[in-house]
């Protein structure tokens, strides 16, 4: 897709001002969600909050069948295509340590990735778009998604019929994600791979246990597991081309029960991050080969399990360029930044972008006065987001929808 200059000209230049006028409502919803976070796919309180926030708008709402999603359809006054806007809803299993007046009231749950801001931004964007219905040639599909944090919530919504509502299949899909380490109010974007595929690696090494004073009478799985850690890093540097990016981190090693016993088994667990399906497939094969052969060299065996995670999040070139152009119009060109490289984190909006051309971009939300090198990042139990950045997200959501539906 590519929006025309006429479509870009149809994007009002005062969207940021209008979004700022809605800031009290945006903040109220965000803080209500922040106080009562929910984790995973079952988010009944969050779902009800969203339905209440949109109840006075001309939006047809659908609650999810398999999860606590909300899908809204906003019809424009004229026929035309559909554009999808996503806001994820779920929190993380962390205990908050920010000292905020509106900090989480739920032990072991916190909106540490800013999904509360995503919901609030999309709800306020829906309100502005509803005010502009007569300017919309087509419809807006509002995707409020649970289970982004490892639960494949976007895939579940697709299976529930996200693209089969009365809105039809969208022409384009967009998502915004706040970043606690990026200057507040900036839009960071790039075409092509935006975030990595994430697979989980589990290896069980089996030897033969025995007395720690007589290792010659046992087959110690611990040295085999230790050797695998180094061998796996070598596999990445020797088998993946230098211009391709891949990360393989072994983050857990477990073995043994006491000092004088050689255990029978040792376990490794880690994560594999890649930015293309060919490299992803290559590493799956190499990891299995390296672990099995390293174990064999120590007289042991290895059972390798690679659990597929989210696919690569790939931005459509045209959609990413359109989002950048709209961002420059509503925020100013100086606040729209080209990202030089992808992030190795993962995002399940990848499932949507695998079906619909579109783009994900980041909205900076680092509070003033915090050093970018030491500011608590997303997923920290001390992370704080600058709420004023939400107005930028609202304006960009509305701007890209207005541009796509300016027919």
DSSP-assigned states of every residue in 120-134: HHHHHHHHHHHHTGG
Q: Is 379 within any annotated ligand binding site?
A: yes
Q: Which of 171, 310, 347, 351 is catalytic?
A: 310
Distances (CA, A) of 237 to 195, 268, 270, 348: 20, 20, 17, 27
Nearest to 401 by CA among 61, 141, 16, 18: 141
Map 344-364 to HEC letters.
CCCCCHHHHHCCCCEEEEEEE
Q: Which two tokens stand for residue 171?
A: 């022409």
Which helix (H) or strand (E) is 318 found in, with range?
helix 317-331
CB 163 within 8 A of CB 170: yes
Q: Is 177 within any annotated ligand binding site?
A: yes
- CA separation for the pair 277, 279 (Å, rounded): 6
- CA separation for the pair 220, 300 (Å, rounded): 8
Q: Is 62 within any annotated ligand binding site?
A: no
Q: Is 300 within any annotated ligand binding site?
A: no
351 is catalytic: no
CB 399 within 8 A of CB 7: no
Q: Which of 96, 171, 286, 387 is catalytic?
A: 387
All residues at 6 or more sequence positions from 236 whose CB lies less than 8 Å from its CB, including other chains: 246, 247, 248, 283
Q: Is 115 within any annotated ligand binding site?
A: yes
96 is catalytic: no
What residues are designated binding site? 113, 115, 149, 177, 379
Binding residues for Mn(2+): 113, 115, 149, 177, 379
| Residues taking part in catalysis | 310, 387
């Amino acid at each position: 897709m590519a929006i025309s200059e006429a479509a870009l000209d149809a994007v009002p230049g005062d969207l940021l001002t209008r979004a700022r006028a809605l800031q009290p409502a945006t903040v109220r919803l965000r803080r209500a969600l922040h106080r009562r976070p929910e984790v995973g796919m079952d988010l009944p309180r969050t779902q009800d909050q969203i339905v209440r926030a949109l109840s006075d708008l001309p939006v047809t709402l659908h609650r999810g069948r398999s999860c606590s999603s909300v899908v809204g359809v906003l019809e424009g006054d004229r026929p035309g295509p559909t554009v999808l806007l996503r806001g994820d809803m779920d929190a993380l299993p962390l205990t908050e340590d920010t000292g905020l007046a509106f900090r989480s009231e739920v032990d072991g749950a916190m909106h540490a990735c800013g999904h509360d801001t995503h919901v609030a931004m999309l709800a306020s964007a829906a309100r502005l778009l509803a005010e502009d219905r007569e300017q919309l040639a087509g419809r807006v599909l509002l995707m409020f998604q649970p289970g982004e944090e490892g639960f494949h919530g976007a895939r579940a919504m697709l299976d529930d019929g996200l693209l089969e509502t009365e809105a039809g299949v969208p022409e384009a899909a967009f998502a915004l994600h706040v970043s606690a380490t990026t200057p507040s109010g900036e839009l960071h974007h790039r075409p092509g791979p935006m975030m990595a595929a994430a697979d989980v690696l589990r290896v069980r090494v089996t030897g033969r246990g025995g007395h720690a004073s007589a290792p010659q009478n046992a087959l110690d799985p611990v040295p085999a597991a230790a050797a695998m850690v180094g061998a796996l890093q070598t596999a990445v540097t020797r088998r993946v081309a230098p211009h391709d990016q891949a990360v393989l981190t072994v983050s857990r090693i477990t073995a043994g029960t006491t000092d004088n016993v050689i255990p029978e088994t040792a376990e490794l667990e880690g994560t594999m991050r890649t930015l293309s399906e060919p490299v992803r497939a290559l590493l799956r094969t190499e990891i299995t080969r390296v672990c099995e052969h390293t174990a064999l060299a120590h007289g042991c065996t290895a059972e390798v399990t690679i659990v597929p995670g989210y696919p690569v999040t790939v931005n459509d070139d045209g959609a990413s360029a359109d989002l950048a152009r709209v961002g420059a119009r509503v925020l100013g060109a100086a606040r729209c930044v080209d990202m030089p490289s992808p992030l190795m984190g993962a995002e399940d909006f990848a499932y949507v972008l695998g079906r619909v051309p579109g783009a994900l971009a980041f909205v900076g939300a680092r509070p003033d006065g915090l050093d970018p090198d030491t500011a608590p990042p997303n997923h920290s139990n001390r992370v704080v987001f600058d709420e004023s950045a939400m107005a930028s997200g609202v304006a960009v959501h509305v701007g890209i929808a207005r541009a796509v539906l300016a027919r």
